[in-house]
Amino acid sequence: MNLVIDVGNTSIKFGVFDLEVIKWKTTSNKHGFLQTLDEISKTFPSIENCIISSVANLSKEHLSKLEERFNVLRLNHQTKVPFINRYATPQTLGIDRIALMSAASFQHKNKNVLVIDAGTCITYDFINSENEYLGGAISPGIAMRYKSLHTFTDKLPLLEKAHPNSYIGNNTANAIHSGIVKAVLFEIDGYIAEYKKENENLTVILTGGDTHFLRDSIKNDIFANSNFLLEGLNHILEYNKHSCLEK
């Protein structure tokens, strides 16, 4: 069994895989990392291998606790991945985006695929039917947009995210919901339209913490898969098992 860990800027996602199948998953914050690890070790004593991807700083203590228990692959820019990376600065590419493109490459071979990860940031990543990763976009995530309107003004309240009734906000709260949620939806459908113009038979995957909140309001056909990044990490672990994790 494999333990797969994705450390994002908001939360840490843990997944337990038996070959290609996810058996269990949970989420924690930084403070819950060690307790979650204890629970997983107790519940799944047959886990041997682990992969961890992080876009945030990882504490030495957390990493050494993992290494005490499992063969650990820490995903980095040198790790062998199944796609050709055409990003002009591969050494600055987010580690999470490498995992997403690995999932796209493994699961949608020889397809044009756009992956949208609605997390702390919203990332757009495109891999073409030649298995080449070309790049994409990074925009502020939904929670970040609500926080920034509140932080950088005197008058705007900090609201819980909500879908607006109309794109015409008739009061402050509705104007904010429209300016954030409706704008994110315009952005997503706008990008999909742009990619579709130039790429036949585009497959679009939506993932990240806001998947469920957004999925039914996107006009284009998409596949919503909250586990896509974890699946990508599991693919990379299996792909590298023999070369990197031999004891």
Ligand X SMILES: CC(C)(COP(=O)(O)O)[C@@H](O)C(=O)NCCC(=O)O
Binding-site residue set for substrate:
87, 94-97, 172
DSSP 39-71: HHHHH-TT--EEEEEESSPPPHHHHHHHHHHSE
Smallest gap from Cβ 190 to K ion, in A, equals 18
Distances in Å between the Cα of 64 and the Cα atoms of 16, 38, 101, 172, 230 are 19, 14, 28, 49, 21
- What is the end-to-end Cα distance of the chain in Å, rounded? 16
The interface mask with ligand X, positions 111-150, x = CB under 6 A, is: --------xxx-x--------------x--x---------
Judge whether 184 and 166 are in contact, CB under 8 Å.
Answer: no
Smallest gap from Cβ 214 to ligand X, in A, equals 14
By CB under 6 A, tell whether 93 contacts ligand X: yes
- Among 94, 164, 208, 232, which residue sits at the site for ligand ADP (rule: CB under 6 A)? 208
The interface mask with ligand ADP, positions 130-169, x = CB under 6 A, is: -----------xxx-----------------x--------
Question: What is the binding site for K ion (CB under 5 A)?
Answer: 117, 119, 121, 123
DSSP state of 180: I
The answer to whether residue 18 is catalytic is no
Judge whether 109 and 88 are in contact, CB under 8 Å.
Answer: no
Binding-site positions read: 6-13, 87, 94-97, 117, 120, 172
- Write down the catalytic residue from 38, 96, 125, 154: 96
140 φ, ψ to 5°? -65, 140
By CB under 6 A, tell whether 120 contacts ligand ADP: yes
Binding stretches for ligand X (CB under 6 A): 8-9, 55, 92-94, 96-97, 119-121, 123, 138, 141
Binding stretches for ligand ADP (CB under 6 A): 8-11, 119-120, 141-143, 161, 208-210
